[in-house]
Structure 1
Amino acid sequence: MTKYSKLLSNVIGQKIDYFSLDALQKAKLFYDCEFYTRAGKIFFAYQEYNYALDAFLKGNDGEGIVYSYTKLGRIQNAIDAAIKFKLYALAGSLYEQIGDYPNAARFFSLKTPVKAATYYIKSDMHYEAGICYLNSERYDLAFFEFNKCKNPAEVQQGLQSLEEVAVVLYFDKKYIEAYQIFIKLKLFDSALICAYELKDKQLIKESKILIKKMSA
């Protein structure tokens, strides 16, 4: 018997007047007939969070489980469930809620790297923030964060990653974006090559002036 047949059988067999039931009675009926998510949503709406959690667990409803644990103040359980169900934004929000910004950033970075960067910055993790901005094509911000790293090795690695992106942009014929990065990195010979590709006389002139100053 399917759960739909079970629901109908219960209503008819027990002569239940479905429309006379209050919300929680309907939730109990849905629960008994294995409509666990529907029952859980009703229990949750009426702040019966323990019943909601039980229903969501039986229905394997990830979001419902996370929100129910949260309402019950069981934050670590909520985080574990969010990770299990790959609800990374929820996991990030829960870590944010308890002030664990590095872990909040780690999970936000999987879906919303720009948001993750702000939490890495709060944690004084500028290299990680730079990588998030780099992955979001926010090259100016990536350059800024890499240069704020206290560890010289991280500065070097970050700027090298930015240079690699500029090379990829060049071969993708995104010459102006590549030019702008090369200028920031003071790689003026590479910038000049981009300027020639752009056939931009002003940029060619400016690049040559910068090369000359660098050689002086």
Structure 2
Amino acid sequence: MIFANRDEAGRALAEQVAQQLPAAETTVRPLVLALPRGGVPVAVPVAERLGADLDIVIARKIGAPGRPELGVGAIVENGPPVFDETLLRYLGLTEQDLAGTLTAERAELARRTDRYRHTRAAPAVTGRTVVVVDDGLATGITAHATLRWLRPQQPRRLVLAVPVCSPHARGLLARDADTVICLHAPEHFNAVGQWYTDFGQLTDADVDEALGRTTRVTAR
């Protein structure tokens, strides 16, 4: 299963989420939370299909030294860092080894919070069905940290929805979410981008455009 782009992946994901979300849980307007940047265009059709509110939850991956694409930890909003202790041991790393990376990622998280939210507060999730959406999961550490950050806020139901994920990530996150929806979990998984024809980098302006477009749709 190869997706043409994030928009196509989002449309396919939206149908699956709509099928798996119990009708009784849609009496209160669901909340779809996208992980910027890549998760935003995937989340747009999901929110539109559910008639849900769309917002963002801001997280940053903590990459391994020399391998920034390999997530060994993550930070979410104002929460503490979460690390993959097994992966750290395998790589011979300690949390102290990542102190500089953590500082840099906190700075970028703060920048994105200011850029995307301005003065708007993070959305309230208590008592709502919350669907967290990303464009794919490799190690799953960022989604793991996000779900752990959201759970104490007592959502009615916590759903993770992605077009593609590694089998390892799907198994890991089944303990964090009430429901994990992944359209494609290939056995031979190297990177999220290999399952997209167009997996170009997105900009802050792309995030603004997508969020603004969905706000207009759901306001009708």
TM-score between the two structures when normalised by the length of structure 2:
0.20
TM-score between the two structures when normalised by the length of structure 1:
0.20
Larger strand percent? 2
Larger helix percent? 1
The structure whose Rg is larger is 1
Higher RCO (CA-CA < 8 Å; seq separation 6+): 2
